[in-house]
Amino acid sequence: MPWPRLAEVIRSGRPQGSRSAPGGLDGLYAQLAEGFFDLNHRTARWAVEAFPARRLRNVRRILDVAAGAGAWSTAFAKALPEARVTAFDSPAALRATRRQVSRMGVGKRYAFQAGDFRKTDFAAQTYDLVILGHVLHTLGPSDARELIHKSAAALRPDGALLAAGFLPNDVRTGPLLPLLFGLNMLLHTAAGHAYTLRQYRNWIREAGLHGARPLAAAAVSTPCGGVGTALSRRALQMKRWGGAS
């Protein structure tokens, strides 16, 4: 993805929005969803492995918000043969979801809900696991907070929220890849940014979720240095990938 107006964005520190694809960045994501699949699915499999077994055992209903090609939920669906998944995204992105979940052999356990998460309330207290995979950083802070609140409302009382993103440290001095990713969001989204762990924690706590701790201590590198965060009403769990925190 090119970096137009780089100097302007760095000087202002403000997002410049996307003019790089018809329909803005969402349209571009819909085109690229399958391209991101392998990378994100690999990270998602680590998240499944690091998920507490006791909690994982109880997961039957999953909501994959902004599912894209289903990179995150297919990892859970593969590991949990009884789990059923609702994939939520735009109609264009859901075409990629359908293709990919079918390729992964889990399509029969998927339902598809087309919509705009800014205008949709998910079914209340319905899901054991809600996934926010690499979507919060595409939003401005108030929209990110609101999406976390909506996702929390969709959880059953003991449900878990898994949010994955690229997290710089709280003073934004590193790691390098999350910082570069944040710059990418400033350049290509209307309001997005790479948010810190502290910001995630605050939003999550405000949404009634609590008990944060890392999913696993071991650092695992990916080409993008992603960071995954798993959250629940009783435990918020996080895992950093691809760099020191």
Ligand X SMILES: C[S@@+](CC[C@H](N)C(=O)[O-])C[C@H]1O[C@@H](n2cnc3c(N)ncnc32)[C@H](O)[C@@H]1O
Residues that bind ligand X (CB under 6 A): 26, 29-30, 33, 36, 40, 66-68, 71-72, 89-90, 93, 116-118, 133-135, 138
Cβ(203)–Cβ(236) below 8 Å: no
Output 71 or 179, the one with its CB closest to ligand X. Answer: 71
Mapped onto helix, strand or coil, the DSSP state of residue 190 is coil
CB of 25 to ligand X, least distance (A): 8
Output 138 or 196, the one with its CB closest to ligand X. Answer: 138
Output 28 or 219, the one with its CB closest to ligand X. Answer: 28
* Residue, CB closest to ligand X: 68
The pairing of strands 236-240 and 212-216 is: parallel
Dump strand ranges (E) for the chain: 61-65, 84-89, 110-114, 127-133, 155-165, 212-216, 227-232, 236-240
C-alpha span between 88 and 113 (Å, rounded): 5
CB of 50 to ligand X, least distance (A): 17
Nearest-10 Cα torsion for 194, 196, 201, 207: -30
Output 71 or 155, the one with its CB closest to ligand X. Answer: 71
Token pair for 228? 């995954």
Output 54 or 230, the one with its CB closest to ligand X. Answer: 230
CB of 196 to ligand X, least distance (A): 19
CB of 37 to ligand X, least distance (A): 7
CB of 71 to ligand X, least distance (A): 4
Token pair for 121? 């309330």
Output 137 or 233, the one with its CB closest to ligand X. Answer: 137
Three-class secondary structure assignment of 58-125? CCCEEEEECCCCCHHHHHHHHHCCCCEEEEEECHHHHHHHHHHHHHCCCHHHEEEEECCCCCCCCCCC
CB of 86 to ligand X, least distance (A): 13
